[in-house]
Structure 1
Amino acid sequence: MKPSLFIPLLLFVACKGNSGRENPLADLDKSSEAVMEEFLCLDSIDAFGVNDFAVTDSVLWFLFQRPGSEDVLAQYRLGDNSCKSVIKRGRGPGEMITTTSLDANGHIVIADCNTNAMASVVRNDATFRQLPSGGLVSCITDGNRVISTGLYPEGRYRLINLESGQVGYFGEYPQGERKIGDELLPTAYINSKLAMKPDCSRFVCVNSNCGIIEINAIAGDSIRSIARIAYHYPDIVGTRSGKMAVAAIRKSNVNGFFDVTCSDEYIYTIYSGKTYNEAGLGLESCDHLVTFDWSGNLIEAFHVSQALGAIQYDNSQGLLYGLAHTPTRSLIYRLNLDR
């Protein structure tokens, strides 16, 4: 089954019930306020339906996941306010449909979840490379190795060496006191996102269906766990989609980290803490930004006055940005966490 079909399934084939778990991050409302400076109104440049972005110097990259949008990836230059389509939506050569989030570590990378084609954008041109088959959902690369999450029963992460073609699986899926069956684990953690430390020595993984952050080291063609901090696990019920057993997220589930980005010093996440029963589809709007160090220690949490759907750290400038959608417009903010 294609990964793109799982996300609505996890949200809407949900069962009533109470997970019985209290969210340890529930006191985040007492957090300091992050300073938000309006950076760019996307509506003013006709960039509608942006769900992920990256900022590198004076260039912005927009990812469009809305089915009706003509573009998948576009480039916007602040210097001359010019916008260029880089990857079109479609099934033809050089086109994509459902993609991973943007990986902006070094250069822009995305992959098609259905075809397993990975596109690397250097300057203005996209170069495509076919990855091994498998349920790809998120991926990051240092240029030689590709690390991904997906529907992998063999392990939590897949590592591909692009030069040798070697493929390996590493790590175990998180388990709480309420054990999740092995056949359900890959779908229980399907909504994962990755970010690589700029020096490419470590990476972090978060998941929107739970409050778990995983930090791993990369050594050669292997992955080693550094830390796993589990604030709360996904509250799921097993169901079936055709012949396949899948995990459906309960409407009472406390949702977690919806995006992650990083510098060499810190990990930045946005956290929901909402249930479907409380917020409906608004559960993906995150009112809190939580920072960690690379050992997994929680450094500080911040409240944001405008709920965020995505964040991106620009290592070239040392600046943090956030994407917010309001009922009337969509904006990119520059975030200041200094008090």
Structure 2
Amino acid sequence: MTKYMVCKYFLTIVISGLFVWTGCTSDDHTAVTFTSLPESLPEQLCASDILNDSYPFVYPEQILRYDSLLIVFDFLDRESVFHVFSDRDGRFLYSVGRKGNGPGEVIMPTSPTIDPTDRSLALWDARQKRLVRFRLPVSSNDSVRYLDYRQNPQNSSYFSQIIAHDGSYYVAGHVDPLRFGKLEQDSVRVLYSDYPLLTSEDAEANRSVWNYFPCTRITRDGRKMVQSCYVGAALELFSIDKDRIQSDTLLAFTPPIYRIIEGTRPRWVGTIDETLLGVLDVQISDRYIYALISQQSLTSDPLAAEGSAYIHVFDWSGRPVCRLKLSRLIECFSVDESHGLIYGMAFDEESGEYQLLRINFNSDDFQL
């Protein structure tokens, strides 16, 4: 088992330990039809250069870009979980989010989010059941400031991610009936509960397939959202209108192959050697969805399964428009569409270290 999959397995066990039995509802949806990723798309060959190959990353899981900052979420770092770099030259600036249970400290962080309304960087601490926020500095003379947190809203053990928009926070959950909701002062308002049937085994297994490390992204205007599937490759596209969420399009490419982890209630899935990894990361703009898709099994090529050299680009109707072929395998990324840049994290086999890359592409060449 590779280092990447050891981390995934560890997280699965930790999260499953938070579950309690809540009962489930049966969904009468028709099982989805899987289609292959299109092979005849226009393809861009994307050159890359190394921005930083000296910082000792432990397990970089996500890259966020804000203004001129690249914020790397390093889940397993024992000191701090965020490391901030200049997007111009890759220079390390500072770290924030120390491990611990004091003010401004975290124990079990989940995927972070940025709220531009107050320049805050936020995450949900699944162990402490609280929303932890930091204000990013405006200039180099400023320092990062710890803000506030909201603690113990109802059913907060079931959160897998929070997403900021316009001063509020949407919640992605993993126990029925909470798939998507909105965080309020001491509770969560459920907005959406349904899941497409990627597996017909039962409703709990299907829900778990969708919630095995999904990526959930909302556009800046708060009107569109996407969620990805990691155990098998799928993307579900949503529209949002005044907190009313509607599923618009489902793109399903790889059926899930998994095992049921013994003793979990509700039922929870894990990977096996034959699992074809799906969407490793997804980023969005107002125009496009960028999906880093693996489709490699853990036995056929473990190193390739950890990352991908292909980013598939779709419009918001679900139509494929381009495939970006990268010069390196990357595991997570961020997109600066206006400047034609992708920032990706690659593992260098020779040094055994992660490298922060800058990758060039041209969205003006996408098939319209």
Please indicate, yes or no, whether the TM-score normalized by the shorter chain is above 0.5.
Answer: yes
| Counterparts in 2 of 1:336 and 1:317: CA distance versus 1, 3 Å | closer
**Selected match of 2:283 from 239, 261, 269:** 261
Which stretch has the larger CA shift, 30-39 or 257-266?
Answer: 30-39
Asked if 1:285 corresponds to 2:307, the answer is yes
- Superposed counterparts of 1:217-256, under 5 Å: 217-241=239-263, 244-256=266-278
Asked if 1:41 corresponds to 2:52, the answer is yes
Displacement of 1:288 in angstroms is 1.1
Asked if 1:135 corresponds to 2:158, the answer is yes
| Counterparts in 2 of 1:183 and 1:317: CA distance versus 1, 3 Å | same
Displacement of 1:90 in angstroms is 1.8
Q: Percent identity?
A: 19
Displacement of 1:187 in angstroms is 2.3
- 1:85 maps to what in 2? 95
Displacement of 1:188 in angstroms is 1.9
Displacement of 1:292 in angstroms is 0.9
| Counterparts in 2 of 1:6 and 1:280: CA distance versus 1, 3 Å | same
Displacement of 1:312 in angstroms is 0.7
Across the aligned residues of Structure 1 and Structure 2, the Cα RMSD in angstroms comes to 3.1
- 1:180 maps to what in 2? 201
| Counterparts in 2 of 1:262 and 1:297: CA distance versus 1, 3 Å | same
TM-score by length of 2: 0.76
| Counterparts in 2 of 1:226 and 1:182: CA distance versus 1, 3 Å | same
Deviations 1:222-261 (A, max 9, x none): 2111211112232233342355532233432222111111
Asked if 1:32 corresponds to 2:55, the answer is no
CA–CA distance in 2 between the matches of 1:97 and 1:211? 30
- 1:336 maps to what in 2? 360
* 2:36 partner amino acid: P
In structure 1, runs of 5+ residues without a counterpart are 11-20
The answer to whether the Cα contact below 8 Å between 2:56 and 2:354 also exists between their aligned partners in 1 is no
* 2:128 partner amino acid: T
Displacement of 1:119 in angstroms is 2.8
SS at match of 1:232: coil
SS at match of 1:188: helix
CA–CA distance in 1 between the matches of 2:204 and 2:57? 40
- 4+ residue runs over 6 A deviation: none
Deviations 1:38-97 (A, max 9, x none): 151241x4555433222333322121112x521111323468945322210122332113
CA–CA distance in 2 between the matches of 1:315 and 1:129? 32
The answer to whether the Cα contact below 8 Å between 1:34 and 1:302 also exists between their aligned partners in 2 is yes
* 1:272 partner amino acid: S
| Counterparts in 2 of 1:78 and 1:196: CA distance versus 1, 3 Å | closer
Which stretch has the larger CA shift, 314-323 or 152-161?
Answer: 314-323
CA–CA distance in 1 between the matches of 2:334 and 2:183? 25
CA–CA distance in 2 between the matches of 1:36 and 1:103? 28
Displacement of 1:154 in angstroms is 0.6
Which stretch has the larger CA shift, 254-263 or 318-327?
Answer: 318-327
- Superposed counterparts of 1:1-339, under 5 Å: 5-7=10-12, 24-25=36-37, 27=39, 32-43=43-54, 45-66=55-76, 69-77=78-86, 81=91, 83-104=93-114, 106=116, 107=119, 108-123=121-136, 124-130=144-150, 132=153, 133-161=156-184, 167-176=189-198, 178-190=199-211, 191-241=213-263, 244-280=266-302, 282-314=304-336, 317=339, 319-327=341-349, 328=351, 329-338=353-362
| Counterparts in 2 of 1:326 and 1:219: CA distance versus 1, 3 Å | same
Higher RCO structure (Cα 8 Å, ≥6 apart) = 1
CA–CA distance in 2 between the matches of 1:48 and 1:239? 27
TM-score by length of 1: 0.82
* 2:12 partner amino acid: I
CA–CA distance in 2 between the matches of 1:214 and 1:22? 13
SS at match of 1:185: helix
In structure 2, runs of 5+ residues without a counterpart are 1-7, 16-32, 137-143
| Counterparts in 2 of 1:281 and 1:146: CA distance versus 1, 3 Å | farther
CA–CA distance in 1 between the matches of 2:190 and 2:218? 18
The answer to whether the Cα contact below 8 Å between 2:51 and 2:358 also exists between their aligned partners in 1 is no
- 1:18 maps to what in 2? none
SS at match of 1:118: strand
Displacement of 1:282 in angstroms is 4.7
CA–CA distance in 1 between the matches of 2:134 and 2:240? 23
- Say how many residue pairs are matched: 322
CA–CA distance in 2 between the matches of 1:296 and 1:26? 12
